[in-house]
Amino acid sequence: MSKKIFPFALLCLLPLLSCQRSTDLSDSQRAAVIQGVQQLAVQFFDDVRTHNAAAVIAHLDSSEAFFWVFPPDTGAVSRATIAEGLRAELESYPSIEGRWLTMRVEPLTATLASYTGVFEQVSTSVDGNAVRTQGIETAVVILRDNGWKFLSGQTTLRTGGSD
């Protein structure tokens, strides 16, 4: 291999080599991380359904590292911005039902994981109009003393229209 091609080839392989699964976790540790993250995701939708804004916001990490990206915004928003938007959404939609259609959790360490999933949500406004939304979410979650928290992520939506 020539000297010019070798560094380029190494540069191309580096991302593939750095994204391998953590081998430091046992099968039971991996299973515990996966279960914890799945429980967080399901509980989030349960808390939205019951209009428990405080519980929903409590699922978001309170550190300065937290951010989320929502469409159509082009940048990351803070925990405070999400809390404000959530309260407005809960007022506008007295019924919000959500569920995960698929979810893949990848444990990175015993206290850090990534996930990607497809979800569906039906929101019914105060005037009875229902909007069905399907989306894809990818995020990083972190285990804190008080449980798993959303640390950062991005949500992409497809809106279906009124029922």
Question: Would you say residue 14 lies in a domain?
Answer: no
Is a pLDDT exceeding 80 seen at residue 163?
A: no
Question: Would you say residue 36 lies in a domain?
Answer: yes
Question: Would you say residue 1 lies in a domain?
Answer: no
Say which CATH number the domain at 70 has. 3.10.450.50
Question: Would you say residue 48 lies in a domain?
Answer: yes
**What number of residues does the chain have?**
163
Question: Would you say residue 17 lies in a domain?
Answer: no
pLDDT value at position 14? 40
pLDDT value at position 8? 43
* Lowest-confidence segment of 49-58, 69-78, 91-100, 116-125 by average pLDDT: 69-78
C-alpha 3/C-alpha 30 separation (Å) is: 41
Instruction: Domain of residue 32: give its range.
Output: 24-162
As for how many domains the chain has, the answer is: 1
Question: Would you say residue 50 lies in a domain?
Answer: yes
How many Cα atoms within 13 Å fall on the side-chain side of residue 9?
Answer: 6
Predicted confidence (pLDDT) per residue in 10-68, tens digit: 344 444 444 445 568 999 999 999 999 999 999 999 999 999 999 999 999 999 999 99
